[in-house]
Amino acid sequence: MSDKPKITDSHCHLDFPDFNDDLSEIINNALQNGVCRMVTICTRLKNEPLVRKISEDYKAVYYAAGNHPMSVSSEPMANFNELIGLSKHPKFIAIGETGLDYHYTSETAEAQKKSLEIHINAAQETKLPLIIHARNADKDIAEILESEFKNSPFSCVMHCFSSSKELAIKSIELGFYLSMSGIAAFPKSTELRKIFSLVPLDRILVETDSPYLAPPPYRGKRNEPAYVIHTARIGAEIFEISYEEFALQTESNFTTLFNKTLTDGKP
pLDDT given at position 4: 85
Quote the pLDDT of residue 2: 60
pLDDT for 39: 98
Give the burial class of 46: count Cβ atoms within 10 A of its Cβ; 0-12 exposed, 13-18 middle, 19 or more buried.
Answer: exposed
Q: What confidence score (pLDDT) does residue 267 get?
A: 52
CA-to-CA distance for 35 and 130, rounded, in angstroms? Answer: 22
- Determine which helix (DSSP H) or strand (DSSP E) holds 135, and give its type and residue range: strand 130-135
Give the closest residue to 258 by CA, choosing from 3, 8, 5. Answer: 8
Instruction: Indicate left, alpha or beta for 178 from its phi (over 0: left) and psi (-120 to 50: alpha).
Output: beta
Q: Give me the helices (H) in the chain, please.
A: 23-32, 48-57, 80-86, 109-126, 138-151, 165-173, 190-197, 228-238, 243-257
Pairing between β-strand 156-158 and β-strand 177-180 as defined by DSSP bridges = parallel
Stretches where the chain sits below pLDDT 50 are: none
| Nearest of 2, 16, 6 to residue 209 by alpha carbon | 16
CA distances from 204 to 58, 86, 153, 195, 247 (A): 25, 27, 20, 12, 10
Contact 45, 65 (CB under 8 A): yes
Domains of the chain: 7-263 (3.20.20.140)
The DSSP output letter for 5 is P
The confidence score (pLDDT) of residue 27 equals 98
What pLDDT was estimated at residue 264?
63
